[in-house]
Structures are given as structure tokens and as C-alpha cells.
Amino acid sequence: MVVIGAGALGLSTALHCALAGRSVVVTERHTAGSQASGRAAGLFKSVQADEVRTGLARRSIARASTFADWAGVPLAVARSGSFLVARTGRHREFLCRELAQSRRWGADVREATPAQLAGQPGYYQPGGDTFALWCPEDIYIEEPASLIQACLAACRRHGAVVSEHERVTGIPVTAGRVAGVETERRSIAAPAVVDAAGGWVRQVAGLAGARVPVAPVRHQLLITEPIAQVDPAGPITRVVDAAVYLRPARGGLMVGGFEADPLPVDPERQPDSFGTDDVPLDLGVLRRLADQVAAEVPVAATAAVTEHRGGMFTMSPDGRFVAGPVPDLPGLWVASGCNGSGFSSSLAIGEALAAWITGGAPPPGVTALAPGRFGSLPDDALITRGLWQYAHYYDPAPA
């Protein structure tokens, strides 16, 4: 089989298919992890909006934490835990609902005491009216490249071939089913092709005349210079009413967030060479988000910035992944619709997709992610709903 794209989703799918005994070739246009996956904040979040995503998120945390045991390659994770913080009555109610439902779905989530929130992150000083949850299961990966390198090494160890600088230019269809791929260099025959092309997933599916229901949207983060009050072993903090996340990074603080008026990015309307480095960055967006937590985390707004990076999320209309077979085109599969959680859920999505491809039946719950579930939703609705999901990353519609 062929996997198109060596980001986190493609590599994980390839690795799990190789572990299941399949012969796998991954073709990557640039280098592995050079696009969205290499820009990720590396955050894993056990609290999710529905049971399927909760299961995938928790499975991924377990798989990342035990990577060496099943993949045979070491992977360092920071078992930091995380706080979810609400400073408004509406968001407090929202977190109370998340607490109840996440527990029902098996996640270890607890109400945090004010003393715990005041003491633990170090960099966050809560005001009087703060409500917080403590999520001890949550982890992060300090540098996203380490997950990519671990997956690459594991792919090689288990026989999957990863071919970089090899762009897929065609997906031939014979007698109504996908027959393999054409690349700049060769033809590869394969009974199954997985489109894991990230922000380019729609163009790649278009090579076979198929459509993937996602809208790419910009996301950005920054890392500050080293700051004395940031404990490198401290937890992640997510301030849900401000849609801001914070974590220790390289001795400083990582600050990212979700603006209410995000920027859609359409690679289809860009030159062929368009890559993640061409996504326009705007530090002003992050400054405005940091200002919203300046009372609790002054350094988020004042410390010098040592890195500002960004890339594309692939947003879906319901905020769920898009993973499974493309309708009416046997042999073509999709691993996409990351909705900003594709890095952290990649190990579970790849595992589930590989089980579906190699076993012939979807694992429980995964049909909820099927690419055909939106019918023929027009592109403007895809974008409008995708932007809504982005802006409501921390307070999505109830399940």
C-alpha cells in the first residue's frame, strides 16, 4: 500500500500497517515532518467533546507514553498534566459539564483546588474568580520533530519505506478502484492508497476525482526567551475563556491560542510551490491572545519571543477527524480533519485506520469519522463551519 504524506498521521498509519504485516511505501513531497507536524505545540489533551475523540486522545497518550514497548524506538514525553481554567461563569459551567462527561468516558479529570492552581504551574497566578480542572493524564512532547523521528525510525525498523522528496502527481483509477500512485519519478501499484497530505489533502484526493470535507485554517504559536519563574517540569495550562494555551518550552513559555476570527488558507488557490513556510504569520494575533491572560501570566505578553511559528489545521464541519474510506472509490483512504489535534491523536488514528484497512472492518466508533458523513456540503459551508470549530476549540458544541 502507499501512504501519501509523511506527517504524523501518514507515518503513524504507515507504521501500524507495517506492524500488521503490510508492505508499505510512504511518499513525501518534502521531508518527513516538515509541514504542520513539525510546527505542533506537542500538546496531548484527554478532555474532548465526545466519547470517540476522548477514546482516541487517551489511547494516543497511552501509545506515546509506551512507544518504545510497542514500536521498539525510544520517545521522550513530558508527563506534565494540565490545568483547564475558566474565569467566567459561562466557561465554569462548560468545564463542569466537561468534567462530568469526561469522567463518564473514562478520563481522569478532577476539580483543582485554588492552592493547586496557584502553586503548580508557577507561571500562572489565578485571580479570585477562577475555576479549574486538573487533568493528570495529559502530556506533551517538547519538540514535535522527536515524534516524527521516532515514527520514522519505527517505520524503518518494521519494514515501511519512507521516500522523501517524492511528490505524488497522479492517482490512477482502474475499473472503478484506485490502482496506486504516480509520482514525479515512478508508478507504484497498490491496492490501497492513504491520502494523508495534511493541508494538501483536498488536492491529492482531487487527483482521483474525490473530495475531502476539510477547510485549512492558519494556527500560530510563540516561544519566549527563558524565564526564571517557568519550571521546565511544570504543567500545561489552558485558559478556555481566552482560548489560550501555555506550557514550559526551552526554559521559557510557549503561548498559543485560537482567535475568534481565524484565517482560512486555501492551498488550492496558491502557487504549486506553496508550503507551510508561506502561510502568513501575524504576531499581533498572539499578542492579543496573550493580553487576555496578562493579569495571570504577565510574561506571556512581555517576554521576548525566540520563535514564532505556524501552519495549517485541516478543520472539519463537526470538529471530528476525517478518517476512513472515501465513498464510491474503493482503495482510497483518508487520514485528515486534524482540527488541531492531529499530532496528538495520530498514534490512535493511525492504529484505528490501519486496523480498518488491514482487517476489513472499522474498529468500534471509528465510522463516526468516515469521510462521507457530510454528503455534498458546499465549500463555503465547509469553510464557515470549519472556522467556527477553530474559534471554539476549547468550548465546542456539546456532543
Residues at the interface with ligand FAD (CB under 6 A):
4-10, 27-30, 34-37, 39-43, 167-168, 196-200, 204, 219-221, 309-311, 313, 336, 338, 340-344
For ligand FAD, the closer CB: 35 or 292? 35
Measured CA to CA, the distance from residue 379 to residue 215 in angstroms comes to 8
Q: How far is the CB of 257 from ligand FAD (least distance, A)?
A: 10
Of 214 and 329, nearer to ligand FAD (C-beta) is 214
Question: Shortest distance, CB of residue 8 to ligand FAD, whole angstroms?
Answer: 5
Question: Partners of 305 in the beta sheet?
Answer: 224
- In the bound complex, what is the minimum distance in angstroms from residue 96's beta carbon to ligand FAD? 25
Closest CB to ligand FAD among residues 325, 350:
350
Q: C-alpha grid cell for residue 48?
A: 474532548
Beta strands 305-315 and 215-224: pairing type? antiparallel
Distance CA 262, CA 244 (A): 14
Angle (CA) 78-142-282 rounded to 5° is 135
DSSP string, 49-112: SSHHHHHHHHHHHHHHHTHHHHHSS----B---EEEEE-SHHHHHHHHHHHHHHHHTT---EEP
Q: Which is nearer to ligand FAD, 198 or 386 (CB)?
A: 198
Q: How far is the CB of 104 from ligand FAD (least distance, A)?
A: 23
Nine cell digits for residue 157: 525498523
State the nearest-atom distance from the C-beta of 279 to ligand FAD, in Å.
8
Judged by beta carbon, residue 6 or residue 239, the one nearer ligand FAD is 6
Helix (H) / strand (E) element for 26: namely strand 25-27
**Least separation in angstroms between CB 113 and ligand FAD:** 27
Q: Which of 150, 192, 207 is nearest to 25 (CA)?
A: 192
Q: Give which of 164, 199, 209 is closest to 183, Cα–Cα.
A: 164
Closest to ligand FAD by CB, 118 vs 250, is 250
